Structure 1
C-alpha cells in the first residue's frame, strides 16, 4: 500500500495572541512560543511531548496560531507531502486551488496553502529532511 499523507500540524487564527496563548495554556496545558515579526507574529503550540522531529507519541500533532487575515480566518490542517510542487499539481488536478507560491519556513520546510473542492482552506508541508516515519 502506498504511503498516505498524514495531517501533521494545525493552524488557528487569532485577534489577540496573548489572550489566545493564555486560553490554550490554561484550558489544555499547551505550551506556546511567540515568534517575532520576522516570522509573521506566529505562535507555535506544543500539544504533546515533542522531540526534534515533532511529537513523540504516534498520531499526536502540534500546531500554531497566526494573525487573522483575509481567506485565512478559519482553522486549518497541514498535510505532510514528499515534494510540495508535485503535491500542488495533484491538488490542482483533483480540483483544488493553490493559494500562492510555496514559501520556505526556516528550520521547518516548504509550505503552501490551498483550498479543496468544498472551499476548505488547508496547507501542505514538505518537511526538511523528507517525510517523517509514522507521519508525526
Structure 2
C-alpha cells in the first residue's frame, strides 16, 4: 500500500502555522513541542517544521506505507536516491529520497 497522506512545510513558527489553519478552517492541531505542529485536514495531514536544521528546502510530500524497507528497495530500484536514512519520530519512522527529476519526497510508516 502506498498513499500520499502527509505534506511537511518549512515554517518560521510551527505554532503560528497551526493556529492559522485551526482558526481559518477549523482543522484540529497537534503540537509536538515548540518546533513542530501537525494540522489534520480532510484526508491529509499538514506538518509545519520551524527548526531550521530539520526543515526541507521546499514542501515535503510524504507517502505512507506498511513496509518501510520494501519501499526503500522500490525507490532505489526505480532510480531514486535516499537523501536521509530512516529515522524515528513521534508516531513512526521515515526516510527521504530524491526522484530522478530532482524533487525530494519521503516515505513513512506509523508505529504499530
Q: Name the TM-score class by shorter chain.
A: 0.7 to 0.9
Residue 33 in 1 paired to residue 17 in 2?
Answer: no
In the alignment, structure 1 segments of 5+ residues that lack a partner are 49-59, 130-136
Task: Output the TM-score relative to the length of structure 1.
Answer: 0.69
Which protein is bigger by CA-based radius of gyration? 1
Residue 116 in 1 paired to residue 95 in 2?
Answer: no
Query: Cα distance, 1:98 vs. partner?
Result: 0.8
State the alpha-carbon separation in 1 of the partners of residues 55 and 28 from structure 2: 27
1:10 aligns with one of 7, 10, 17: 7
What is the number of residues matched between the two proteins? 111
Runs of 4+ in 1 over 6 A off after TM superposition: none
State the alpha-carbon separation in 2 of the partners of residues 123 and 111 from structure 1: 7
Partner residue in 1 for 2:39: 45
Q: How does 1:1-136 map to 2 (within 5 A)?
A: 4-36=1-33, 41-48=35-42, 60-67=43-50, 68-69=52-53, 72-106=56-90, 108-129=91-112
Which is richer in strand? 2
Query: Cα distance, 1:69 vs. partner?
Result: 4.4
State the alpha-carbon separation in 2 of the partners of residues 73 and 24 from structure 1: 21
Task: Output the TM-score relative to the length of structure 2.
Answer: 0.81
Q: CA RMSD in A?
A: 2.1
